[in-house]
Every structure is written in structure tokens, then in C-alpha cells.
Amino acid sequence: MSITSNCKLIPLHLSLLPNPNPNPKLPFPNPNSPPLSPPKLLSIRCAKRSQRTGKYRYPSEKRKLKSRQQTQIDVPQKFEGFWRLSKLGVSVHRDPGKDFLDVSDALLEEIAKVLEFPVASMLPPEAFSVVRKSFDARKSLKEPKFVYTVDMDVIKLLDLEPRTWDFISRLEPKVGLIEHMLDERVSGDIINVIHDYRRIYNGVVSNEGGHIQLRESFKYPATKKPKVAVVGSGPSGLFASLVLAELGADITLIERGQAVEQRGRDIGALVVRRILQLESNFCFGEGGAGTWSDGKLVTRIGRNSSSVLAVMKTLVHFGAPKNILVDGKPHLGTDRLVPLLRNFRQHLQGLGVNIRFGTRVDDLLVENGSVVGVKISDSSNYLKFDSQKLGCDAVVLAVGHSARDIYQMLLSHDMNLCPKDFSVGLRIEHPQELINSIQYSGLATEVRSGRGKVPVADYKVVKYINGDDLDTTFNPGTVRHGCYSFCMCPGGQCAEKLESHS
């Protein structure tokens, strides 16, 4: 529990408050005396739940935690699914370094410690896989360390070391450290997931009784394939096309910009000769807005979740390095994105997707209140006099932030649009060495321009602004806003993000 001042929550009037009437003879403050400043209230505010640990937990929280810890898992269940071990810290001196993503001896010792397993060398490393590895150099720690999340495959463990049976049968979850996960992990990328789904639901195999058995041969459904126009080939449009095409839909992917090869040349002309192609630039073209960027794979929706992992695995399928599956701060880079996008395109074409680069959607075709297609034109033609109609059963608009013409068009159809919070960009530049030395002190020499044992240092600025801090005249009803720095780009350069001459 902490005591804070200037807080409007649960005001508690204590004897510490200044007396509003300093002259006890007068029933009211003396009008001639200087005006009193309003009393400063002392209020008591409870620490956030995340800060209440150990003996500071409320009794109700302690009871809840105890009952959760005591939740016994049936012994047979312990051998199903897998066990996830989190917050395994290996000191930087004992770890092989940022690029090593397997299970080292030092990590095995940490695993044994958290599992309370007596002999680390008895644990076969093959039974463990690293799910996440990040570097923690916060000053509050005794020493910088690599922090791991690791999955334990019990079947493999028993296979390789049957003497662990007794130990597993006694193993219990520990909040935040050991978690038993019954759900099957995503074994593959989105393509595999869809193939498995189709095999099971279309009759190639059946998983009845938990066993996958071969059934009659695979048949495409006899019904007509739905015709879908996907507008935009950024991440959203590409993945929408992939999923729909893998599920058997007839897809036309429409992109106003150019394929990555031509787009690269157009961006080169913009940067070097300052010639802007209105429809093929940093924002428009195959791969979407982030293609000519640092390629940071930023997500705030649960990095270890099955859906995020399936997307990451799909990127690996198309040529991304495998370490993006494990890195705490995964990152691709434009040089890798270009061949990846080419592979993605070839896969889509192999599925029969009709990709139309240099084609812009100008309008929706609407009949009786339903969208029945799109109006398209050659994107090099701004007068739109060669518009063609493309009929379809559904339209996916995956047009990104920069397609202002599309949002105008939607408004003209009386479409209900809901604005997102506005993000304002701010650039801060400083030498990489400065950040390394501030964050890592003596360890900064280990960075070696990204080729060393520890990752290039970065930082993040996050601030939550309460309703109290905001001017409510302009923000009625606003309660809480988050301000955060988006990403850092070590060794990056500034580029003009133009999409119009104006």
C-alpha cells in the first residue's frame, strides 16, 4: 500500500491535513488574512496488483494463489500436452550468446533448478525447445542475463530418459514459472494448419477417438467456389489471400502499386533522384507500407500465442530466418523481405490467385445495399476513364493507412467508419554507442555492431496518462491513454514517406 498526494481516489482525511481555520476564536477564516491555499488532501491508494507480491498480497489473493497452486492435475494428464517453463535466467557470462537458440548446459541447469530436478545432466536437451529468448540488462538486476521460455515435451523426455517418469508424475504447476498446457501447440505455419483442417473436415482423415485415420480420398466441394476480390497486398491482404485461397476460394488480389522488383527501382529513383511515382513508393506496392523499413515484427497481442506463432512460421516458410520464432525482438530487414515477398507471390499464384499489380480500386459496386464487386482502373491513369467492373461475392479491403481516396469513397457510400486513435510520429536520434553504454555499461564492448554476444541496446518510453492529466474540456470522457515509442532502428536512415506530390 502506498500513500500518494494529489490523488483524487479514495480521499482519506487525516489529522495531517492543514487546519482550514488557524484562528480558533473565529468561526470562519479571517477575511483579512491572505487566502488559504486549498487543503492538500492526502489520499491512500493501493499498489497495483502486479506490484503486490509476497507478504504485500491481500489475504484473498493469497488464498486464491494457494488454491491455484494446489490445483492437482491427474497423473495421466501430466503426460499429455506439454509443460511451459518461463523466466529461466542464464547469466550473460554463462550463455553462448544472442545467436544461440538451442538448449545450452547452463540453460539445462536453470531448467533443473525450476523443476527442482536433482541432476541437470540427466535431462536430455532434445526434450526441450526454446520458445523465446530475450536479453535483460536492467540495472535492478544483479547482473545482465538472457531470459528464456522453454517447452518441455514429456513424451520425448520419457522416451529418452524413462527414469524421469516418477518425477513427472509428481510435477505441479507454479504460477508464472511452470505451466501445464493441454492444447496442442501449433505445429506448423498457416498453410499446414489449413491443410490439416481440410484433411480432417473434408474426409481425407478422421481424428475420431484421437487417432488420425485415412478415410476416402480427398474431394473438392462440388459447390461453386466463392469469388473474392482482395484489395491491397500489404500484410493484411497477403494473409487474407493466402487463407482464402488455401480454403479454396477464387481470389483476385488487386494492388495499385508495383511488384517488389519494380517497386525497388521506383523507391531508388525517389531516394536518389527525388522522382516520385504516385502509385509505387514507400507506402504503395507489393508487401505494403513496411516493406522498405527495418522489418521489425512488432506485436502487442501475445507473442507466444498460437496465432502469432502460425504467422511467424508462415514467414519462415517463405524464407525468413528461423530465429524470428524465438527472438525476444524479432526483426527481418528489407533485404530479407524482398525475396520473402517473391516466394509469397509465387505460392499464391500456384494456388491460382490472380494478382493484378498496377491496378487501383476506385469504387465499390453496390446493388440493393450489397457489395457485388469493385470498379478498377489502371493505376497509372489518374482520370479513371478506363474503369472496368469486376463482379465478385465478397470484397476484402486491406488498403492500409495511406489510401485516403478509399476512405473518401466509403464515406460517399454512407459507410459507418470508426476512427482509430491517432498516432503521432516523433523521431529521436542518438549514436548507437551512447545507448549501448547507458544500457550495458561495461558490457557495451560486447555489442560489436550487432555481431557480438549481446544484442544492440535499445529502450522504450511508455507513459500512461490518466484522465487527471488530460484537459477534459477537450477530451470529455477520456480516461486513460497510452503513449509509447514504437521502435528503435539501430543504424537506420531517414526516408521520405511520400505518397503524393503535395
Ligand X SMILES: Cc1cc2nc3c(=O)[nH]c(=O)nc-3n(C[C@H](O)[C@H](O)[C@H](O)COP(=O)(O)OP(=O)(O)OC[C@H]3O[C@@H](n4cnc5c(N)ncnc54)[C@H](O)[C@@H]3O)c2cc1C
Where along the sequence are the contacts to ligand X (CB under 6 A)? 231-237, 254-257, 282, 284-285, 288-290, 293-296, 298, 360-361, 398-403, 406, 487, 497
In angstroms, what is the minimal distance from the CB of 332 to ligand X? 8
Nearer to ligand X, 297 or 351 (CB): 297
In angstroms, what is the minimal distance from the CB of 97 to ligand X? 24
- Strand-pair partners of 181: 82
Query: CA of 259: how far to CAs of 88, 357, 396, in Å?
Result: 44, 6, 20
Instruction: Give the separation between CA 228 and CA 244, rounded to whole angstroms.
Output: 8
The grid cell for 105 is 548446459
In angstroms, what is the minimal distance from the CB of 400 to ligand X? 2
> How many other C-beta atoms can be found within 10 angstroms of the C-beta atom of residue 184?
10
Nearer to ligand X, 186 or 395 (CB): 395
In angstroms, what is the minimal distance from the CB of 438 to ligand X? 23
- Strand-pair partners of 263: none
Instruction: Give the separation between CA 463 and CA 485, rounded to whole angstroms.
Output: 9
Nearer to ligand X, 108 or 398 (CB): 398
In angstroms, what is the minimal distance from the CB of 187 to ligand X? 25
**396 CB contacts (<8 Å, ≥6 apart)?**
228, 229, 230, 231, 237, 240, 244
Which among 359, 354, 342, 246 is positioned nearest to 287, based on CA atoms? 342
In angstroms, what is the minimal distance from the CB of 369 to ligand X? 22
Question: Do residues 323 and 332 lie in contact, with contact meaning Cβ atoms separated by under 8 Å?
Answer: no
Question: Do residues 333 and 297 lie in contact, with contact meaning Cβ atoms separated by under 8 Å?
Answer: no
In angstroms, what is the minimal distance from the CB of 70 to ligand X? 42
Which among 356, 391, 396 is positioned nearest to 374, based on CA atoms? 391
User: Cα 494 vs. chain centroid, distance in angstroms?
Assistant: 24
Type of residue at 240: A
Nearer to ligand X, 161 or 405 (CB): 405
Burial 105-129 (b: 16+ CB within 10 A, else e): ebbbebbbebbebeebeebeeebbb
In angstroms, what is the minimal distance from the CB of 253 to ligand X? 9
Nearer to ligand X, 215 or 356 (CB): 356
Nearer to ligand X, 95 or 266 (CB): 266
Question: DSSP for 423-489?
Answer: P--------HHHHHHHHHGGGGGG-GGGTSSSPPP----EEEEEGGGS-TTTSTT--EEEEE-----
In angstroms, what is the minimal distance from the CB of 180 to ligand X? 32
> How many other C-beta atoms can be found within 10 angstroms of the C-beta atom of residue 133?
23
In angstroms, what is the minimal distance from the CB of 457 to ligand X? 18
Classified as helix, coil or strand, 114 is: helix
**221 CB contacts (<8 Å, ≥6 apart)?**
202, 248
Instruction: Give the separation between CA 112 and CA 85, rounded to whole angstroms.
Output: 11
Nearer to ligand X, 36 or 366 (CB): 366
Nearer to ligand X, 154 or 325 (CB): 325
Nearer to ligand X, 277 or 432 (CB): 277
The grid cell for 263 is 517497386
Report, in angstroms and rounded to the nearest whole number, the Rg of the chain calculated over CA atoms: 29
In angstroms, what is the minimal distance from the CB of 193 to ligand X? 20
Nearer to ligand X, 157 or 254 (CB): 254
Nearer to ligand X, 171 or 364 (CB): 364
Nearer to ligand X, 103 or 240 (CB): 240
Name the residue with cell 483579512: 32
Query: CA of 252: how far to CAs of 226, 242, 338, 407, 460, in Å?
Result: 11, 11, 22, 21, 40
Which among 285, 341, 281, 287 is positioned nearest to 317, based on CA atoms? 341
In angstroms, what is the minimal distance from the CB of 279 to ligand X? 7
**120 CB contacts (<8 Å, ≥6 apart)?**
105, 108, 109, 111, 112, 113
User: Cα 125 vs. chain centroid, distance in angstroms?
Assistant: 29
In angstroms, what is the minimal distance from the CB of 213 to ligand X? 40
Nearer to ligand X, 120 or 271 (CB): 271
